[in-house]
Every structure is written in structure tokens, then in C-alpha cells.
């Protein structure tokens, strides 16, 4: 058998704070929903922008890839022609070694020049001011 002293009795402060806590919980949930909706809206906008740009630049990307492939084939044929031409004066194996060594030295020189052209100091690139439409949105917590 339980008596009235065994049951916890609601305190008077609980009666005052429960409605306040409920309202605060509701406001926090609404603020979370607004922030979640704003973030989702931003993600959707960025995704749509990326898809639109990808569709617009697809033909150019394919053309550049084709150009890179054809350039590599051309450079290979130039190297082969150099080997064949040099083979008239020296044995074929020596001609291939000389042309290969020359191409490796040319690549090493290009890499050294590229490294020398790297900027020194702070590598931080300044970010330009944004004109993104999301900056015009009203703050999500404004009621």
C-alpha cells in the first residue's frame, strides 16, 4: 500500500517552468527546422548549379580530352621519327636511348622551371567577395 508520502509530489516550480520549457523546446525545434531547410535549400541550389555547369561544359571537356590524346599520339610519333632518323647514323638501340634520354631531360627541365615558377611565401589565395543569392536570405531565426 502506498501512502501520500511515498508518491513524489509535483513541486510548485515545476508547474511554472513546464510551460516555459515547452515553449522553449518548440522555438528551438522551429529554429532547427528553419536552419535545416536553409541548409537544404543551399545544398539544392549548389547541386543544381553544378549539374547545369557540367552539362554546359561537357562538350568542351570531351574536346579537350580528345586534343590531349591526339597531342600524346603526335609527340610519340615525333619521338619515333627522331629515333628512325637518328638510326641512320647510329645503331637503332642507341638512337632509341638517345631520344629517350633527351625527352627525359626535357621533362626534367620543364619540371624544374615549373617548380621555380611556384609562388613563394604564404600560399593562401584571397577569396573574392561573393554575390551568391543565399546571402540575400533572411536570417533563419527571425520570426
Segment 50-99, tens digit of pLDDT:
888 888 888 888 999 999 999 999 999 999 999 999 999 999 899 999 99
User: Considering the domain boundaries, does residue 126 fall inside one?
Assistant: no
User: Considering the domain boundaries, does residue 108 fall inside one?
Assistant: yes
User: Considering the domain boundaries, does residue 139 fall inside one?
Assistant: no
Indicate the pLDDT class of residue 136, thresholds 50, 70 and 90.
Answer: low
Number of domains observed in the structure of the chain: 1
User: Considering the domain boundaries, does residue 39 fall inside one?
Assistant: yes
User: Considering the domain boundaries, does residue 29 fall inside one?
Assistant: yes
Q: Are 92 and 83 in contact (CB under 8 A)?
A: yes
Range of the domain at 24: 12-116
Segment 102-115, tens digit of pLDDT:
999 999 999 999 98
* 102 φ/ψ angles, rounded to the nearest 5 degrees: -65, -40
User: Considering the domain boundaries, does residue 5 fall inside one?
Assistant: no
* Helical pair 12-87 and 92-116, crossing angle rounded to 10 deg: 140
pLDDT at 4 over 60: no
Segment 29-49, tens digit of pLDDT:
999 999 999 899 999 888 888
User: Considering the domain boundaries, does residue 90 fall inside one?
Assistant: yes
Query: What pLDDT is attached to residue 22?
Result: 80
Q: Give which of 105, 98, 106 is closest to 82, Cα–Cα.
A: 98
Amino acid at each position: 500500500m502506498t501512502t501520500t508520502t511515498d508518491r513524489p509530489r509535483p513541486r510548485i516550480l515545476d508547474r511554472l517552468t513546464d510551460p516555459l520549457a515547452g515553449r522553449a523546446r518548440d522555438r528551438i525545434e522551429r529554429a532547427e527546422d528553419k536552419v535545416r531547410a536553409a541548409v537544404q535549400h543551399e545544398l539544392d541550389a549548389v547541386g543544381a548549379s553544378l549539374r547545369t555547369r557540367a552539362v554546359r561544359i561537357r562538350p568542351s571537356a570531351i574536346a579537350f580530352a580528345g586534343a590531349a590524346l591526339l597531342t600524346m599520339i603526335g609527340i610519340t610519333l615525333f619521338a619515333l621519327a627522331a629515333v628512325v632518323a637518328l638510326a641512320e647514323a647510329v645503331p637503332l638501340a642507341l638512337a632509341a636511348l638517345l631520344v629517350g634520354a633527351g625527352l627525359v631531360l626535357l621533362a626534367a627541365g620543364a619540371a624544374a622551371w615549373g617548380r621555380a615558377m611556384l609562388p613563394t611565401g604564404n600560399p593562401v589565395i584571397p577569396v573574392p567577395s561573393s554575390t551568391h543569392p543565399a546571402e540575400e536570405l533572411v536570417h533563419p531565426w527571425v520570426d
